[in-house]
Chain A
Amino acid sequence: MMNIIKTRSDGTLTIALEGRMDISTAPDLEREVKGSLDGVTELVFDFENLAYISSAGLRVLLLAQKKMNKQGTMKVIHVNPMVMEVFETMGFAGIITIE
Chain B
Amino acid sequence: MIKKFRFNRITVGLLFAFASAVLCTALTWVVFFDKEAYARMQVYFFDCGVDALGSLICAALYFGCMNQQGDESKAFRALILLVSASFVVNACMYHSLGVPSQHVYTFTFCLLSKLMDLVMIFFFYQYVKKTLGFGGKLAGWADRGIPILMALESVVILINIFYPLTFFIDADGFYQATGASPAEDVYLAVVSLITAVLIIRSSSPRNQKMAAMTFILLPLISYALVLGAFGSASQYGMILMSLVIMYCIIFNDKSNKLASTQTELNMATQIQSSALPSVFPDSEAFDLFASMNTAKEVGGDFYDFFMIDDNHLCFLIADVSGKGVPAALFMMTSKTMIKDYALTRDNTSDIFTEVNARLCENNDEGMFATAWIGILDTRTMTLQYTNAGHNYPVLQRAGHPCELITAVHGLFLGGMEFTQYRQGELQLEPGDRLLLYTDGVVEAHDRNDELYGEDRLKSMMNDTRNLSGEQVLERVFADVGEYATGVPQFDDITMVVLTIK
Q: Is the CB of B411 within 8 A of A55?
A: no
The residue of chain B having its C-beta at the shortest distance from the C-beta of A64 within the complex is: B366
| Cβ–Cβ contact A66 & B389, under 8 A | no
Which chain A positions have C-beta within 8 A of B115?
none
Pair A55/B319 contact, Cβ less than 8 Å: yes
Q: Which residues between 59 and 99 of chain A lie within 8 Å of chain B, taking CB atoms?
A: 59-60, 62-63, 66, 88-92, 94-95
Q: Any chain B CB within 8 A of the CB of A37?
A: no
A91 and B411 contacting across the interface, CB-CB below 8 Å:
yes
Q: Which residue of B lies closest to A59 (CB)?
A: B321
Taking a contact as CB atoms under 8 Å apart, the answer to whether B322 and A56 are in contact is yes
- Residues from chain A with Cβ under 8 Å of B320 in the complex: 55
Interfacial chain A residues near B323, Cβ < 8 Å: 23, 56
**Does B374 belong to the interface (CB within 8 Å)?**
no
B370: CB under 8 A from chain A? yes
Q: Mark B403-422, 1 if CB is under 8 A from A, else 0.
A: 00000101110011000000
Binary A-proximity of B364-408 (CB < 8 A = 1, otherwise 0): 001110100000000000000000111110000000000000001
Closest to B296 in A: A23
Asked if A55 and B321 sit within 8 Å, CB to CB, the answer is yes
Measured in the bound complex, the distance between the Cα atoms of B388 and A62 in whole Å is: 15
Main secondary structure of the interface of A (DSSP, over half): helix
Main secondary structure of the interface of B (DSSP, over half): loop
- Closest CB-CB distance, B491 to chain A, in whole Å? 8
One of A54, A58, A95 near B416 (C-beta < 8 A): A95
Residues of A near B412 (CB, < 8 A) are: 90-92
Q: Is B117 an interface residue (CB 8 A)?
A: no
> Given A55-B439, A59-B368, A62-B415, A91–B408 Cβ distance below 8 Å?
yes
Q: List B contacts of A89 (CB < 8 A).
A: 389-392, 408
Chain B residue at minimum C-beta to C-beta distance from A87: B389
Minimum Cβ distance to chain A for residue B327 (Å): 9
Indicate if B446 sits at the interface (CB-CB under 8 A): no
Expressed in whole angstroms, the minimum distance between the Cβ of A54 and any Cβ of chain B is 7
Q: Which of B322, B389, B491 contacts A90 (CB 8 A)?
A: B389
By a CB distance below 8 angstroms, the chain B residues around A23 are 322-323
Interface size on A, residues (CB 8 A): 19
Partner of A63, one of B319, B366, B389, B443: B366
- Complex CA gap A22/B440 in Å reads 13
Is B321 touching A95 in the complex (CB atoms < 8 A)?
A: no
Q: Is the CB of B443 within 8 A of A59?
A: no
Chain B interface bracket (under 10, 10 to 19, 20 to 34, 35 or more) = 20 to 34
- The answer to whether B411 touches A94, judged by C-beta atoms less than 8 angstroms apart, is yes
1/0 per residue B444-461: CB within 8 Å of A?
000000000000000000
Contact call B392/A90, Cβ cutoff below 8 A: no
* Cross-interface CB contact of B321 among A58, A66, A88, A91, cutoff 8 Å: A58
Determine the residue in chain A with the shortest Cβ distance to B323.
Answer: A23
Q: Across the interface, name the chain B residue whose C-beta is closest to A63.
A: B366
Contact at B322–A59, with CB atoms within 8 Å? yes
List of B residues within 8 angstroms of A90 by Cβ: 370, 389-390, 408, 411-412
| In the bound complex, CA of A92 to CA of B368 (Å) | 12
B388 contacts A91, C-beta separation under 8 Å:
yes
Residues in B with CB closer than 8 Å to A56 are 321-323
In the complex, A48 Cα to B412 Cα: how many Å? 25
Residues 30-47 (chain B) with a chain A CB within 8 angstroms: none
Complexed CA–CA distance, A10 and B439 (Å)? 40
Nearest A residue to B443, CB-CB: A54
**Which residue of chain A lies nearest to B324 when distances are taken between CB atoms in the complex?**
A23
Task: Give chain B nearest CB distance to A59 CB in angstroms.
Answer: 4
B residues within 8 A CB of A60?
A: 366
CB-CB nearest in chain B for A22: B490
Which residue of chain A has the shortest Cβ distance to B300 in the bound complex? A55
Residues of B within 8 A of A92 (CB): 389, 411-412, 415
| Bound Cα distance A26, B439 (Å) | 17
Interface residues of B in 429-446 (CB under 8 A from A): 439, 443
What's the nearest-Cβ distance from chain A to residue B471, in Å?
28
- Minimum CB–CB distance for B330 against chain A, Å: 10
Residues of chain B contacted by A54 (CB below 8 angstroms)? 439, 443, 491
Please list the 4 inter-chain residue pairs (A to B) with the smallest Cβ-Cβ separation, ordered nearest first.
A90-B389, A91-B411, A63-B366, A59-B321
Known: A58-B368, A89-B390, A90-B408. 7 other contacts (CB 8 A): A22-B490, A55-B319, A55-B368, A60-B366, A62-B368, A90-B412, A91-B411
6 interchain pairs, CB-CB under 8 A: A54-B439, A54-B443, A58-B321, A59-B321, A59-B368, A62-B415
